[in-house]
Amino acid sequence: MLQAAYSLRTLLGNMLFPPYCLLCHGEVDASATVCTDCFSQLRMISRPYCEQCGQPFAYETGETLCAECQFSPPQFNAARSVWCYNDFSTQLIKKLKYGDHTRLAPYLGGMMRGAGAELLEYATLMTPVPLHRKRLRHRRYNQSFLLAKAIDGGRSSELTLIPDLLQRTRHTVPQTLLTHAERQTNVIGVFSVNVACREIVENARIILIDDVMTTGATLNACAEALQNAGAAWVGVLTLAKRIR
Ligand SMILES: [Zn+2]
Ligand SMILES: [Zn+2]
């Protein structure tokens, strides 16, 4: 009886929301979000990669850090991403960001749990990169918070999600409209630790959640604010990373 009720619910669900690939709109199994063809175009990042910035290495070199991290390391201690930044991962992220595809969040959160397993295990606090309240009003939700919530949803560890650990102190031009050099200066001093959270940041191991890491300027600025407030370690977990 219970089985029949479940099947009926699934059937009704599939009639109301027929399972289709979110990228190419082809048919998929009821449990899949993207079809196997599209999934294979989403280039997953796996070892060997730089342990600090997550940049994949073309081959095993025996080094743990890339040349850039050896020369001028970022503010964060470790970064991981699920996919390389390409047309396919960008499409998925855009759907989450602008298409109101909130049903995508659990799927993406699951992928991030896999890619960031080690960092999530080590961290004690998790927080999304904040949007300025003006942009939040316009977009209605912070996609990075949705991702953090989705990552948190499937875990039973000691990791605590604090949505507003960081705040944006001023409205900035979207990073996507700027050049590499402009992006670095655009976010200087933009983030600060919420006064109410000062105490818990001290000596904490914090993982920052965002959708994309391109130049790393935003995440670097967030990490710097956390380090300045006394964080012991800052990790970064994103869905996609632009490969240098
Ligand atoms: Zn597809
Ligand atoms: Zn590196």
Rounded mean pLDDT of 179-208?
91
Taking the C-alpha atoms of residue 88 and residue 238, their distance in angstroms, rounded to an integer, is: 15
Q: Residue 112's pLDDT band (boundaries 50, 70, 90)?
A: very high
Return the pLDDT at 197: 95
Q: How far apart are CA 125 and CA 49, in angstroms?
A: 24
Kindly give the distance from the C-alpha atom of residue 26 to the centroid of ligand 1, in angstroms, as a whole number. 5
Does the pLDDT value for residue 50 go beyond 80? yes
Single-letter code of the amino acid located at 71: F
Averaged over 24-45, what is the pLDDT?
A: 89
More confident site: 31 or 38? 38
Residues, beta carbon < 5 Å, ion ligand 2: 50, 52-53, 55, 66, 69
Helix (H) or strand (E) holding 31: none
Residue-wise pLDDT for 56-102, tens only, equals: 999 988 899 999 999 999 999 999 999 999 999 999 998 888 776 76
- Cα–Cα distance measured from residue 139 to residue 66, given in angstroms and rounded to the nearest whole number: 36
**Distance from the CA of 34 to the center of ligand 1, in angstroms?**
5
Q: Scanning the structure block, which residue is given the tokens 């047309």?
A: 87
Q: Give mean pLDDT, residues 184-213.
A: 93
Tell me: pLDDT of 186 over 70. Answer: yes
Distances (CA, A) of 4 to 1, 7, 11, 130, 150: 5, 5, 10, 44, 29
Q: What is the per-residue pLDDT across 113-133, written as a single tens digit (0 to 9) for each?
A: 999 999 999 999 999 999 877
Other residues' Cβ atoms within 10 Å of the Cβ of residue 66: 20
- List the shell of residues around ion ligand 1, using CB closer than 5 Å: 21, 23-24, 26, 35, 38
- pLDDT the model gives residue 86: 94
Whole-number pLDDT of residue 153: 80
Confidence (pLDDT) at 12: 55
* 94 CA from centroid of ligand 2 (Å): 26
Please state the rounded mean pLDDT for residues 202-224: 95
Spacing, Cα 6 to ligand 2 middle (Å): 48
Please tell me the predicted confidence (pLDDT) of residue 69: 96
Which helix (DSSP H) or strand (DSSP E) does residue 57 occupy? none
Q: Which two tokens stand for residue 164?
A: 């507003």
- What pTM was computed for the model? 0.88
Q: Are 70 and 78 in contact (CB under 8 A)?
A: no
Q: Are the C-beta atoms of residues 197 and 170 closer than 8 Å to each other? A: no
CA distance 194 to 86: 34
Q: What is the pLDDT of residue 221?
A: 95
End-to-end CA distance of the chain: 56
pLDDT at 133: 76
Classified as helix, coil or strand, 176 is helix
| Distance between Cα 29 and ligand 1 center (Å) | 11
Per-residue confidence (pLDDT) for residue 6, from 0 to 100: 53
Q: How many CB atoms within 10 Å of residue 146?
A: 22
Average pLDDT across the chain, whole number: 88
The residue with greater pLDDT, 208 or 14, is 208
Distance CA 173, CA 72 (A): 26
Distance CA 95, CA 101 (A): 6
